Amino acid sequence: MGKEVQQLLTDFGGLSFEQIKKKLKEKRDWLTDEQLNGVLVNNAMHVNGIWVLNSLGNPQIDAVRSSLIKVFSSSNPPNTKNKILEAVEADMQRKVALPDFTLRKLLREFAKNENGLWNFKGSKGTEDKNDLSELVCE
């Protein structure tokens, strides 16, 4: 089931626990929250209400991706591509050397573009309460 979760997160980018569960339940109606949480913990990371892959397997892209996660996790993340890129470069202390297409693909993993503004898919205020790792921490 780990491969299925990885494929979902590759295809759709960041998803909430409920979104992942709904997509997997179409094929696995016996799936419990505990089973899904175990698979997620081993294959993904939880960022502000969404689950994303731990790594894409490319060190150059993963470095930018890690910085992008930090930027989107900040209390007031920038919402234009140029401001996001500036924040990522400031965090990395160097220029981002990725093609624009790759950068936009990374942005779409974590955010939705609405009229030129990038809005993070997750939400700090509405964390997914069915996420067992969050319930344990409360």
d(CA 111, CA 105): 10
Kindly state whether residues 81 and 67 are assigned to the same domain. yes
Residue among 29, 27, 60, 57 nearest 43 (CA): 57
Band (pLDDT 50/70/90 cuts) for residue 127 is very low
Kindly state whether residues 96 and 79 are assigned to the same domain. yes
**Residue 13's CATH number:** 1.10.10.10
Band (pLDDT 50/70/90 cuts) for residue 129 is very low
Kindly state whether residues 64 and 37 are assigned to the same domain. no
Q: Do residues 14 and 34 touch, judged by C-beta distance below 8 A?
A: no
> Is residue 20 one of the residues assigned to a domain?
yes
Reduced to 3 states, what is the DSSP secondary structure of residue 21? helix
Kindly state whether residues 68 and 115 are assigned to the same domain. yes
Kindly state whether residues 51 and 28 are assigned to the same domain. yes
> Is residue 19 one of the residues assigned to a domain?
yes
Reduced to 3 states, what is the DSSP secondary structure of residue 114? strand
> Is residue 132 one of the residues assigned to a domain?
no
| Contacts of range 129-134, beta carbons closer than 8 Å, 24 or more positions apart | 130/17, 130/18, 130/21, 130/33, 131/17, 131/37, 131/46, 132/33, 132/34, 132/37, 133/37, 133/41, 133/46, 134/46
> Is residue 133 one of the residues assigned to a domain?
no
H or E, element range at 112: strand 111-114
Number of domains in the chain: 2
> Is residue 128 one of the residues assigned to a domain?
no
Range of the domain at 96: 59-120
Tens of pLDDT, residues 62-109: 999 999 999 988 888 888 999 999 999 999 999 999 999 999 999 999
Kindly state whether residues 47 and 70 are assigned to the same domain. no
d(CA 90, CA 75): 16
- Global pTM value: 0.76
Amino acid at 28: R
Kindly state whether residues 11 and 32 are assigned to the same domain. yes
Q: Do residues 109 and 52 touch, judged by C-beta distance below 8 A?
A: yes
The pLDDT value given to residue 25:
81
User: Is residue 128's pLDDT more than 50?
Assistant: no
The pLDDT value given to residue 138:
36
End-to-end Cα spacing for the chain: 28
Tens of pLDDT, residues 20-60: 999 988 777 788 889 899 999 998 999 888 999 988 989 99
